[in-house]
Amino acid sequence: MAIEHIFDSASSVMTLVSFATFVGILVWTFVLMRSTDFDTQAALPFADDDQGESSHG
């Protein structure tokens, strides 16, 4: 019976840790990151295409 109580407590703790991690990722992604960083990273595939065309032609 004591082991069941330990597993129940561990399950609750892991649920809280997982939720806190999820919220932390959301905050880091949408609040702390600037939109200019996202815009720069979104343009990277197009920059690679421009370099590839000049080396082939």
Express each pLDDT in 6-52 by its tens digit.
Answer: 877 888 899 999 999 999 999 888 887 777 777 888 888 888 665 55
Q: What is the pLDDT of residue 24?
A: 94
Where helices occur in the chain by DSSP H, the ranges are: 2-27, 35-42, 44-56
* Tally of structural domains, the chain: 1
- pLDDT above 70 (res 56): no
Q: What is the pLDDT of residue 25?
A: 92
Residue 24 domain boundaries: 2-56
Q: What is the pLDDT of residue 3?
A: 79
Q: CA of 34: how far to CAs of 7, 39, 43, in Å?
A: 41, 9, 15
Output the DSSP codes for 18-30: HHHHHHHHHHIII
